Amino acid sequence: MDGREQRLRQARIDRGYDTAASAADAHGWSRNTYASNENGNAPFSYRRAKEYAAAFGVSPEWLYDAAGAMQPVGEPGWVPILGHVGANPDGTVLFALGQDPSELAPIPPGGADKARALRVVGHSMRGLADDGALIYFEDQRTAPTPDMLGQVVIVEVDTDEVLVKRLLRGSRHGVYDLESIAGPMRHDARLRWAAHITAIIPPFQARRIIRGAA
């Protein structure tokens, strides 16, 4: 498997996780699945490589097939605009294709190197963020925390969708209700990760600060 599992283990250790179990718990992954990916018993897909790479701060191309540098290439003070949100009433994030973002935005005040941005398209998020606004979040890929309940956050559900929703308690432990800005409530969703929104930049200012990637 050309060392894919060794690269995954190296990325996990370099990120500060002493064990596979601790990394899996921190990011809401199945312990058995992650351990099988890391020990080579179950080769992981490129889609899963992107998830692991985001969690461990490495390039998905390097992690999957040793292509390019281990660390993703970035520009100091700028973060990628990963995709569009609000293009439909369900609030689904439409991620940009490929790994090289076509647009960049400045790191927001108080932001860190894990900051990422989404661009609002359309009017389905009116009242939170208007058409053309930027929504920032920290791309940590960790499980929901109690302080997120009742807040509008970025989540990934187990059906591979990334959504902007208000996080509410579900009917039982381990599931959540997701309230839309506009659209139906989603009940008892299982989440892979959740992230606080750290900044929202209104459309006028967003147009002034967005620039194309080099």
Q: What is the CATH number of domain 78-212?
A: 2.10.109.10
pLDDT of residue 87: 61
pLDDT of residue 94: 67
pLDDT of residue 187: 95
- pLDDT by residue, tens only, the chain of 214 residues: 468 999 999 999 988 888 999 999 888 899 999 999 999 999 999 989 988 988 887 888 889 988 877 766 556 788 888 888 876 666 667 665 434 457 888 998 888 777 889 988 887 777 788 889 999 998 877 889 999 999 999 998 888 788 889 999 999 999 999 998 777 889 999 998 899 999 999 999 999 998 875 5
Provide long-range contacts, Cβ within 8 A and 24+ apart, for 160-165: 160/47, 161/92, 161/93, 162/83, 162/92, 162/93, 162/95, 163/90, 163/91, 163/92, 163/93, 164/85, 164/86, 164/91, 164/93, 164/118, 164/125, 164/128, 164/135, 164/197, 165/91
Of the candidate CATH numbers 1.10.3720.10, 3.20.20.20, 1.10.10.10, 1.10.260.40, the domain formed by 4-65 belongs to 1.10.260.40
Q: Is 63 helix (H, G, I), strand (E, B) or coil?
A: helix
pLDDT of residue 71: 66
Listed by start position, the domains of the chain span 4-65, 78-212
What's the rounded Cα separation, in Å, for the pair 111 and 196? Answer: 12
E strand residue ranges, 148-189:
152-157, 162-169, 176-179, 186-189
- Reading the block at residue 78, the tokens are 């700028």
pLDDT of residue 213: 58
